[in-house]
Chains A and B, each alone.
Chain A
Amino acid sequence: MNSGSTADIAFLLLIFFLVTTTIASEKGLFLKLPPKQDNQEQDIKKKEKNLFNINANSADRVLVEKEPWEKSLDDLVPKIQEFLLNNGRNPELSDSPKDAVVSVKVNRGTSYELYIEILDVVNRAYNEIYASRVGITAEQFRNLDLKNPADKDKYDRARKNFPRQISIAEPGK
């Protein structure tokens, strides 16, 4: 049999698959929504000092703890970490990481892009703390493979007594 054209046929198929392949981009920011029943009472019980408020309005201006935030959002990371790791030292900040909640409240007119940026910054603050608790870099912490028992153990140790509490408040009109 003449097999000289096999390479050409294979090439054609190869090009077809090259073109149709979309490298899956299944990565993103996880978030757990609160369950349906109204948690409003619980929210009120939270002491003001245990809440770190980040608000954004429809013009994409950010309000952090009732103060306008004019700097880059990246500079918010140390501020959130200071709040989380306070452990009752500063009476205006959180009692303990367990009590601390980062509350994000946006307006219906806020852009999704800004919302993701804020969530990203909050997650970065948490991830850096988690990473430093087990002595690895934030990058390594993000790439921990939870199916691997050694990595899973690290992950659990990092998160022990330090839940990632991000609250997404219902937006104002």
Chain B
Amino acid sequence: MSKFKKKGKEDPEIPTSALPDIIFMLLFFFMVTTVMRNDNIMVRQKLPQATELSKVEKKSLVSYLYIGTPRETGSHGAEPKIQVNDVLIEPEGIVQWVSQQRDKMSEADRNRITISMKVSKEAKMGIITDVQEELKEANALKLLYTTVKKSNLR
């Protein structure tokens, strides 16, 4: 026992002068890694799980499209809906949306546009097929079904 007491008396306090620096380091880390969410997602998102995932190589090529049941079922109904940039749209609006997204990109990248589909599990294939038909129409053929990594393998 006495051994421990002795040690404690030698150095009774932890130096805290470096604490702000440490905290600032952490702060900068999170400031740099944070990506502010620019879409206010209005549809429920419970992404499916899969194991064979690939990473997106260039984020600037990706446009996001959300499908799921609306959070506010009172005003938007309970059927899965399509959302792009803060608004719910019908499948017919997708061609226009894709061309808008293309306009935002640099000339060289326009043909490499990738559509990331964030589709909730409970959606049926009907709506997804409609979307894909419209995407073919808009000639945006690269698709990414965003999924979550399955935690327990097999």
A binding-site residues for B, Cβ under 8 Å: 3, 6-7, 10-11, 13-14, 17-18, 20-22, 24-36, 74, 106-113, 115-117, 119-120, 123-124, 127, 142, 146-147, 168, 170-171
CB-contacts of B39-53 with A (<8 A)? 47-53
Q: Using A7-B19, A112-B121, A123-B52 as known contacts, say yes or no to A31 and B137 having CB atoms under 8 A apart.
A: no
Asked if residues B33 and A21 are in contact (CB atoms below 8 Å), the reply is: yes
Query: How many angstroms between the C-alpha atoms of A14 and B59 in the bound complex?
Result: 26
Chain-A contact segment, one of B5-13, B20-28, B81-89, B99-107: B20-28
Residues of chain B within 8 A (CB-CB) of A11 are 23
Report if B132 contacts A (CB, 8 A).
yes
The number of residues on chain B lying at the interface, defined by a beta carbon within 8 Å of a beta carbon of chain A, is 53
Report if B116 contacts A (CB, 8 A).
yes
Report if B143 contacts A (CB, 8 A).
yes
Residues of chain A within 8 A (CB-CB) of B3 are none
Q: Using A6-B20, A111-B124 as known contacts, say yes or no to A142 and B53 having CB atoms under 8 A apart.
A: yes
Nearest-Cβ distance from residue A7 to partner chain B, whole angstroms: 4
Pick from A24, A29, A109, A171: contact of B144, CB under 8 Å = A29
Asked if residues B135 and A33 are in contact (CB atoms below 8 Å), the reply is: yes
* 30 A-B contacts (beta carbon < 8 Å): A3-B20, A10-B24, A14-B26, A22-B35, A25-B148, A26-B56, A26-B59, A26-B116, A27-B53, A29-B54, A32-B142, A33-B141, A34-B141, A106-B125, A107-B125, A108-B124, A108-B125, A108-B129, A109-B126, A112-B128, A115-B128, A117-B50, A119-B50, A119-B145, A142-B53, A142-B54, A147-B57, A168-B132, A170-B129, A171-B126
Nearest first, the 7 closest Cβ-Cβ pairs linking A and B are A108-B126, A17-B30, A123-B52, A120-B50, A28-B146, A27-B53, A10-B23
Nearest-Cβ distance from residue B134 to partner chain A, whole angstroms: 11
Residues of chain B within 8 A (CB-CB) of A14 are 23, 26-27, 30
Residues of chain A within 8 A (CB-CB) of B31 are 17
**In terms of DSSP, what is the predominant structure of the interface of chain A?**
mixed
Nearest-Cβ distance from residue A66 to partner chain B, whole angstroms: 20
Residues of chain A within 8 A (CB-CB) of B50 are 28-29, 116-117, 119-120
B binding-site residues for A, Cβ under 8 Å: 16, 19-20, 23-24, 26-27, 30-31, 33-37, 47-57, 59, 62, 116, 119-126, 128-129, 132, 135-137, 139, 141-149, 154
Query: How many angstroms between the C-alpha atoms of A147 and B56 in the bound complex?
Result: 12
Asked if residues A27 and B147 are in contact (CB atoms below 8 Å), the reply is: yes
Pick from B19, B54, B128, B154: contact of A28, CB under 8 Å = B54
Residues of chain A within 8 A (CB-CB) of B51 are 120, 124
Residues of chain A within 8 A (CB-CB) of B20 are 3, 6-7, 10
Nearest-Cβ distance from residue B138 to partner chain A, whole angstroms: 9
Asked if residues A30 and B54 are in contact (CB atoms below 8 Å), the reply is: yes
Asked if residues B30 and A142 are in contact (CB atoms below 8 Å), the reply is: no
Query: How many angstroms between the C-alpha atoms of A3 and B23 in the bound complex?
Result: 14
For B59, the closest partner residue in chain A by CB is: A26
Q: Using A20-B36, A21-B30, A108-B126 as known contacts, say yes or no to A35 and B141 having CB atoms under 8 A apart.
A: yes
